[in-house]
Amino acid sequence: MTSYLLIESGSDREAGDPAGLRELAAGLSRRGHDVVLFLLQNAVLIGPAGPPVDELLRSGVQIWVDELSLAARAPGAASGPDGVRIAGMPELVRRLMTPGVRPVWH
């Protein structure tokens, strides 16, 4: 089993393919890998609940949402559904520095 840290900074309304990264996260998790999807900047705009988040949680992906990005872009959204963790840069850096974790920044 490999551990992955997938970092998304864009929303579905921007260029790039955030939905593709979410599909990758779900696929890796279904194959038995440990996957954390860290949402920051505009990626927090996918919403605290709904189809993309629900599907990821069901597939076993851990979802972490950057607390500062959430406060700036979605004031009042202090928490998400069960399974979504509000995290800060210290948690992101610890995960990045964990031996064996493969980061992908999108």
Task: Please give the residue range of the domain that contains residue 52.
Answer: 3-105
CATH number, domain of 98, equals 3.40.1260.10
Average pLDDT value for residue range 77-106: 88
pLDDT digits (tens, 9 = 90+) for 1-21: 899 999 999 887 776 788 889
Rounded CA-CA distance 11/30 in Å is 24
pLDDT: which is higher, 97 or 45: 97
Contact 26, 4 (CB under 8 A): no
Burial class (CB in 10 A: 0-12, 13-18, 19+), 13: exposed
For the chain, the domain total comes to: 1
- What contacts 87, CB < 8 A, 6 or more positions away? 38, 64, 65, 66, 67
pLDDT of residue 98: 96
In DSSP terms, 63 is beta-bridged to 37, 84
pLDDT digits (tens, 9 = 90+) for 56-79: 999 999 999 999 998 888 776 666
**What is the rounded average pLDDT for all residues in the chain?**
87
